[in-house]
Each structure stands twice: as C-alpha cells, then as structure tokens.
C-alpha cells in the first residue's frame, strides 16, 4: 500500500482551510412509504476529515450518503455540500457537484461489459473530457499501480476477486481527484488482510491529498484505522459522536455493543 501515495500526480487540495465545512446536514428526514428511514440526521464534515458512520443494517446509513450525491432527495432538512443546497440544484449543477465527489459502492460497481482499463478511462473521457490517449494511459497506469493492480489492467471485472474489484472501484473514483469521498461499506465481504489494506489506503488518501471522507462501515478495524471522528446511528438518528477511543468507553449500551467484538 506504500504506492497509494502515487495515485494522483498533483495533490487535489494543496491549500485548504481545515475548518471549512464541506458537508453540512441538519435535521435530515427521509421516508420510503410508511417507513421512516432517516428521522433526524445532523452531521458536519470538515475539509480533510474522515468521519466513520457506524450503525446496524437498515438504519439508513447508505440512504444518507445517497442523499449527499443527489441520488435520493430528502423529504425535509438542510443538506449543503460546499455551501450549496443539493435539493435545489439543477441537473447541470448536480453534475458539476458530482465531479468533485467520489462514491465507492459496496460491490465496486464496475462496468462489467468493460475491461479494467476501459472502466478507468470512462470517467477520464466523459467527466474530465481528456482526449490525449497518452495522458489517459499514463493516468490509468498510475492509479492502478497505486492500488497494486497494474497486472489486471486488461482483465474483465468478472475475472477479479471481491477485494480486487473494490480496489479498481476505488481507483476509478480517485482518478478524477475528488475533494470528498463517500465509502459505502468499503471492506464488507473482504478477508481481514485485504480489509486492512483497503482501510490503510483510505487513510493514506486522506492524509496525502486532504480528501474529506464519509465512511460507512460495520468493520470496527476499518473504523479504528480510518476515523478522525465516529458517528453512531440507530433507528434513523445519530445517537453518539466522538473519537474512536471516546466511544469505546461510552455509557450508551448500543454504542458500546459495537465495540464489544473489538475489545
């Protein structure tokens, strides 16, 4: 994972204000029919910060980050990214915003009719509108080298293991130098060694390029490695917030239950 630092040539945010709030969520509510998934979500993500969201399955963790990128529209509440209200954005504005946000899906979401190379070329030619094939090849090879998968460049996604898919998915997201990364359970389904490698890669990205990240996970080892701050979610609400070590000794039984296995 040492090579992770080479993923992009230029730091995405060389000069930054660490107190700048890049994502601001207040009183966010979202329902699907009669099911109230998000009841009252409040979260501020500062620039260069890694926030881990912990919670049981079906508590609305993924719904929260889908609202952030505008895949879902919240029913109520404030949700601003870089100071702009996501719900009020036009399609073009949303597209511009998405160019600055990377989203790593649970299964990697690789385009299965394309090779790894074509998967990585896709955002370069469609989003960054690069036309110079030499420049494209250089960036693709750099980013793949960064996740340790240069050998898999001409393979199809069906030929890759779960961990390799996630790495390629991460490479595809990082290739456009996002300012914010949203990780939807980045280590689910991976063996402990690969999970640790992915977690360290996430941490390296944040440290090196000051990418702000929201990491949704059940994996306490991933939370320990990557988090600057941990938020615990239960029944559509955030019930606790603090550093990993602070929450470990929390009085709240639900919060403590997440750390039981860890200890």
Q: Which residues form the interface with another protein (CB under 8 A)?
A: 69, 71, 95-96, 98-99, 101, 103, 105-107, 109-113, 122-123, 126-127, 169, 172-173, 176
Cross-sheet strand order for the sheet of 21-32: 84-85, 76-81, 21-32, 35-46, 237-242, 229-234, 50-55, 212-216, 180-184, 101-104
Q: Whole-number minimum distance, CB 255 to another protein, in Å?
A: 30
Of 176 and 205, the one with the shorter C-beta distance to another protein is 176
CA 7, chain centre distance (Å): 16
Of 73 and 95, the one with the shorter C-beta distance to another protein is 95
Q: Whole-number minimum distance, CB 230 to another protein, in Å?
A: 24
Give the separation between CA 41 and CA 26, rounded to whole angstroms: 6
Q: Whole-number minimum distance, CB 250 to another protein, in Å?
A: 33
Q: Whole-number minimum distance, CB 12 to another protein, in Å?
A: 15
Residues 6+ apart with CB under 8 A from 229: 49, 50, 51, 52, 241, 242, 243
Of 91 and 253, the one with the shorter C-beta distance to another protein is 91
Residue 212's φ and ψ, nearest 5 degrees, are -85, 135
Of 30 and 229, the one with the shorter C-beta distance to another protein is 30
Of 25 and 240, the one with the shorter C-beta distance to another protein is 25
Between strands 35-46 and 21-32, the pairing is antiparallel
Q: Whole-number minimum distance, CB 105 to another protein, in Å?
A: 5
Contact 70, 94 (CB under 8 A): yes
Give the separation between CA 140 and CA 138, rounded to whole angstroms: 6
Between strands 229-234 and 237-242, the pairing is antiparallel
């Amino acid at each position: 994972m040492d090579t992770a630092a080479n993923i992009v040539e230029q730091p995405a945010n060389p000069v930054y204000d660490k107190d700048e709030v890049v994502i601001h969520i207040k009183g966010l509510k979202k329902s699907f029919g009669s099911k109230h998934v998000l009841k009252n979500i409040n979260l501020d993500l500062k620039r260069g910060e890694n926030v881990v969201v912990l919670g049981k399955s079906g508590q609305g963790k993924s719904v929260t980050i889908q609202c952030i990128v505008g895949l879902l529209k919240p029913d109520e509440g404030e949700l601003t990214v870089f100071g702009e209200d996501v719900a009020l954005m036009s399609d073009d504005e949303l597209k511009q915003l998405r160019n600055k946000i990377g989203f790593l899906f649970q299964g990697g979401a690789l385009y299965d009719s394309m090779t790894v190379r074509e998967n990585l070329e896709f955002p370069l030619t469609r989003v960054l509108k690069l036309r110079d094939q030499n420049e494209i090849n250089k960036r693709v090879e750099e980013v793949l080298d960064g996740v340790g998968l240069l050998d898999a460049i001409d393979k199809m996604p069906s030929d890759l293991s779960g961990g390799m898919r996630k790495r390629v998915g991460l490479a595809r997201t990082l290739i456009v130098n996002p300012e914010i990364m949203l990780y939807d359970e980045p280590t689910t389904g991976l063996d402990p060694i690969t999970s640790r490698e992915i977690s360290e890669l996430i941490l390296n990205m944040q440290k090196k390029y000051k990418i702000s990240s929201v990491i949704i996970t059940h994996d306490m080892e991933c939370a320990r490695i990557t988090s600057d701050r941990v938020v615990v979610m239960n029944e559509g609400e955030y019930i606790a917030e603090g550093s990993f070590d602070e929450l470990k000794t929390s009085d709240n039984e639900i919060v403590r239950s997440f750390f039981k296995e860890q200890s």
